[in-house]
């Protein structure tokens, strides 16, 4: 037999996704390339690894056994690579981070340079709502978390990264002509909320309560992307983080409605449990962010300051 590690990787991904198309997408390959490698791999066995029923691919019992062996081989290869990097003095291991959903527009820019510098580091980043982020931090499941509202129930240290600005946003067809509206405009608008536990929702509700606004909740949705699409479609209005709507503002499908007292400004902060014993990777990452955050903000978020 003369199969390659590349063929093992492709076959394992096919068994995991049960789809040649999805396997190709996750491996960043073309579908024909994956099909060819599967065929070449199959030619080295007398027993079928897969079978097609209708238009769906199924893994045979023999194929499942080969997949288990392939996974073990690939894990061993990865271990060898990591040992090699360790002997070269490179950082090796896993960096674990949990971030609130809107943080996906922020955190990758503070990670890309570090990951390029340290190819032996594996990133595990959980993008979820604020409640789950705090839970993972409290249970010491992660090295760091990214939040826009500090958790009052946890004793944490923090590194502030940048401002988080939230504006009232409507679709491009919204009929608003004034330069600035009074806060009572909220009483006339159907508002779209994020789900319970969301940091954006908490910020929005605090603003409404603090200003004693009789707001009308029209819709509740479970992601920033869902809220964005609902606003674009004209279902209502929402207070949204500027960081997540740059492309839509540039494309003209969303518009900021100027209101006195807005934007609401909070801080994106990377937090960790006070007294946490850092791994070498976590320690190196924290130092990296401290040294480079100003440069990253200037290079990646210079557009941000034009919105006041």
pTM greater than 0.85: no
Domain at 93-162+267-306, CATH from 3.30.420.40, 3.90.550.10, 3.40.190.10, 3.40.980.10 = 3.40.190.10
Q: What is the pLDDT of residues 226-257, one digit of tens each?
A: 889 999 998 889 999 999 999 999 999 999 98
CATH 3.40.190.10 in the chain, residue ranges? 93-162+267-306, 164-265
Asked if pLDDT for residue 216 goes beyond 80, the answer is no
Whether 193 contacts 217, CB under 8 Å:
yes
**% of the chain at pLDDT higher than 70:** 96
3-state class (DSSP) for residue 238: strand
Q: What is the pLDDT of residues 276-301, one digit of tens each?
A: 988 888 999 999 999 999 999 999 99
Domain at 5-87, CATH from 1.10.10.10, 1.10.760.10, 1.20.120.140, 3.40.640.10 = 1.10.10.10
CATH 1.10.10.10 in the chain, residue ranges? 5-87
- Return the structure tokens found at 280: 């070498």
The better pLDDT of the pair 110, 25 is held by: 110
Q: Alpha carbon of 104 to those of 173, 207, 286: distances in Å?
A: 28, 24, 18
User: What's the confidence (pLDDT) of residue 178?
Assistant: 66
Asked if pLDDT for residue 215 goes beyond 90, the answer is no
**CATH class for the region spanning 164-265:** alpha beta
Q: Alpha carbon of 39 to those of 52, 53, 55, 64: distances in Å?
A: 13, 17, 17, 16
User: What's the confidence (pLDDT) of residue 89?
Assistant: 63
Give the residue among 108, 157, 170, 104 at the shortest CA–CA distance from 273. 157
């Amino acid at each position: 037999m003369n199969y390659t590690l590349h063929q093992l990787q492709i076959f394992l991904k096919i068994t995991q996704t049960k789809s040649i198309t999805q396997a190709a997408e996750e491996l960043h390959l073309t579908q024909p390339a994956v099909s060819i490698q599967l065929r070449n791999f199959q030619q080295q066995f007398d027993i079928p690894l897969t079978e097609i029923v209708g238009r769906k691919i199924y893994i045979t019992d023999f194929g499942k056994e080969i997949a288990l062996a392939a996974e073990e081989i690939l894990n061993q290869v990865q271990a060898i690579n990591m040992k090699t990097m360790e002997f070269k003095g490179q950082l090796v291991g896993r960096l674990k981070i949990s971030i609130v959903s809107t943080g996906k527009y922020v955190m990758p820019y503070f990670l890309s340079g570090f990951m390029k510098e340290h190819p032996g580091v594996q990133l595990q980043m959980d993008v979820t709502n604020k409640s789950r982020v705090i839970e993972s931090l409290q249970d010491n499941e992660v090295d760091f978390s990214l939040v826009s509202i500090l958790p009052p129930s946890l004793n944490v240290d923090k590194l502030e990264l940048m401002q988080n600005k939230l504006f009232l946003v409507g679709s491009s067809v919204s009929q608003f002509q004034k330069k600035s509206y009074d806060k009572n405009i909220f009483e006339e608008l159907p508002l779209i909320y994020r789900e319970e536990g969301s940091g954006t929702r908490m910020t929005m509700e605090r603003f409404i309560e603090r200003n004693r606004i009789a707001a009308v909740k029209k819709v509740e949705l479970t992601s920033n992307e869902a809220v964005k699409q609902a606003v674009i479609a004209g279902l209502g209005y929402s207070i949204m983080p500027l960081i997540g709507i740059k492309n839509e503002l540039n494309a003209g499908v969303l518009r900021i409605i100027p209101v006195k007292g807005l934007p609401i400004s909070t801080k994106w902060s990377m937090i960790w449990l006070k007294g946490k014993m850092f791994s070498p990777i976590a320690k190196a990452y924290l130092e990296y962010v401290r040294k480079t955050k100003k440069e990253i903000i200037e290079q990646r978020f210079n557009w941000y300051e034009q919105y006041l």
